[in-house]
Every structure is written in C-alpha cells, then in structure tokens.
C-alpha cells in the first residue's frame, strides 16, 4: 500500500498581519455605543491587541457603563457594531493590505497549501474586513472570536476545521500560525503549533522574539518557514 500524504495548514491572523482597517473597527464600536447608550467609547481604552470581539464588547461595556451587560444588551451591541462595520471599512482612508500579503497567498494557493484564519474577529467581521481587498477566497476555513472567547481555543477550533477540510489528513506538527502579537504567539503554542510572527503590527521584531515566536519576519515579503 502507498504512503498516505498528510497536508499542512497555514493559519493567518487578520488585523496587523494581513491588513489594517485604519481604525474602522474601533469606529464601528464607537457608533454602536453612541447609538445605544449616548456615550463616546474608545474600546482601545479597555482592551489590548489580539483580544476576541466578544471580550472587546464585554470589557468595554463593563468599563464604560460600569456594570455587567445582559445577554440582550450584548446581542444588540454586537449586531449594531456589525451593521456599521462594512461602511467604516469601505470608507476608511487608511485601510491597507500589508506588504507581501497577496504574493504569499497566491504562492501558497498555487502550491496547494491549505490556508485558514485564526482571528479574534467574529466570523462576519473577519469576512467584512477581508472583502475590501478581495482576500476571502484564499481561506477555506478559520477559527473566529465567535467560536470562543480565548484565542488559544480559537486556534484549536481552526485546527479542528483544518482537519475536516483536509479530509482527516492534516499533519498538525507541520502546521504554522502567522500573527503579529504576543497573544497570537501564546495561542499558537497553546494549540501545539509553531508561529511565524510578523512585525507589521504594533510589536517590533525584538518584542516578538522576546514573546517566544518560533520565527520572526519583518513583513510577509520575507519567506515563510514552510
């Protein structure tokens, strides 16, 4: 009998790794809070980079409103933020795709590599952000902030879906995450895979090395270790 060939998956973060929305997400959150509660809320005052959308909403609500939200309040807040996000992304003057992204995704696709997402965005928000740059078609699956509140569990969910998409022939030991924050690094290692950290977000190469990245790239113009 012939040897069964197992595939690998390359799992990309979105914000700071593939693209920047130029603050579109924060503006959508701000509009949602203003409409529902009549207050100006900067979610960055309450959360850090790499946090999942549900946690962003929850911690910002607690900080700005000063109490626990009900389930209905959280649902309204999340829904309204998603209503405003497409407009904010489409009109964002500073939206940009990071250097090398289209080239590396084209190359991975041509090579038959399985590409997916590990992102704190809820699934709808992820696809809204990718749509402006026509990047959605590169990703057959993903783990999203709508799957779990903690990034490590999002990464595990992405690997589960990669296993399904690969027909059960995934070599997890050869899978690679690509992200730009220490949270991405911690999540990848918690899920049992290596990570290439790219210094296109708010953390420079030294900070990413100190956080334990297996590989550090200046941009995705550098060769991925696959």
pLDDT of residue 6: 65
Mean pLDDT of the chain: 95
Let me know whether 84 and 185 are in one domain. no
Boundary (domain end) residue, out of 36, 57, 91? 91
User: Of 115, 201, 55, which Cα lies nearest the Cα of 213?
Assistant: 201
Boundary (domain end) residue, out of 39, 71, 91? 91
Q: 160 exposed, middle or buried (CB, 10 Å; 0-12, 13-18, 19+)? A: middle
Tell me: the pLDDT tens digits for 73-112?
Answer: 999 999 999 999 999 999 999 999 999 999 999 999 999 8
Q: Please indicate, yes or no, if residue 208 is contained in any of the structural domains.
A: yes
pLDDT of residue 88: 98
The answer on pLDDT for 205 being more than 70 is: yes
Q: Please indicate, yes or no, if residue 139 is contained in any of the structural domains.
A: yes
Percent of the chain with pLDDT over 90: 92
pLDDT of residue 50: 80
Boundary (domain end) residue, out of 37, 59, 91? 91
6 compared with 86, residue with greater pLDDT: 86
pLDDT of residue 180: 97
Give the pLDDT band (50/70/90) at residue 206.
very high
Q: What H or E segment, with its residue span, contains residue 130? A: helix 123-131
Q: Please indicate, yes or no, if residue 81 is contained in any of the structural domains.
A: yes
For range 34-45, the mean pLDDT: 96
pLDDT of residue 4: 43
Tell me: the pLDDT tens digits for 169-182?
Answer: 899 999 999 999 99
Let me know whether 14 and 39 are in one domain. no
Task: Specify the CATH number for the domain of residue 194.
Answer: 3.40.50.1000
What range defines the domain where residue 137 resides? 9-21+96-217
Q: Please indicate, yes or no, if residue 1 is contained in any of the structural domains.
A: no
Let me know whether 196 and 100 are in one domain. yes
Q: 68 exposed, middle or buried (CB, 10 Å; 0-12, 13-18, 19+)? A: exposed
pLDDT of residue 165: 94
pLDDT of residue 1: 37
């Amino acid at each position: 009998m012939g040897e069964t060939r197992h595939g690998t998956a390359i799992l990309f973060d979105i914000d700071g790794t593939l693209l920047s929305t130029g603050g579109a997400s924060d503006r959508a959150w701000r509009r949602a809070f203003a409409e529902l509660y009549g207050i100006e809320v900067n979610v960055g005052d309450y959360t850090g980079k790499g946090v999942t959308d549900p946690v962003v909403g929850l911690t910002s609500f607690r900080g700005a409103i000063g109490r626990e939200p009900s389930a209905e309040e959280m649902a309204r807040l999340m829904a309204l933020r998603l209503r405003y996000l497409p407009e904010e992304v489409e009109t964002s003057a500073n939206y940009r795709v990071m250097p090398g992204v289209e080239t590396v995704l084209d190359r991975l696709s041509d090579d038959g590599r399985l590409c997916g997402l590990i992102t704190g965005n809820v699934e709808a928000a992820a696809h809204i952000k990718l749509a402006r740059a026509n990047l959605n078609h590169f990703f057959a699956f993903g783990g999203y902030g709508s799957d779990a509140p903690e990034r490590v569990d999002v990464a595990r969910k992405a690997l589960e879906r990669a296993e399904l998409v690969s027909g059960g022939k995934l070599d997890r030991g050869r899978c690679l995450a690509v992200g730009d924050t220490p949270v991405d690094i911690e999540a990848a290692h918690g899920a049992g895979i290596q990570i290439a950290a790219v210094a296109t977000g708010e953390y420079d190469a030294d900070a990413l090395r100190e956080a334990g990245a297996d590989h550090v790239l200046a941009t995705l113009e550098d060769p991925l270790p696959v």
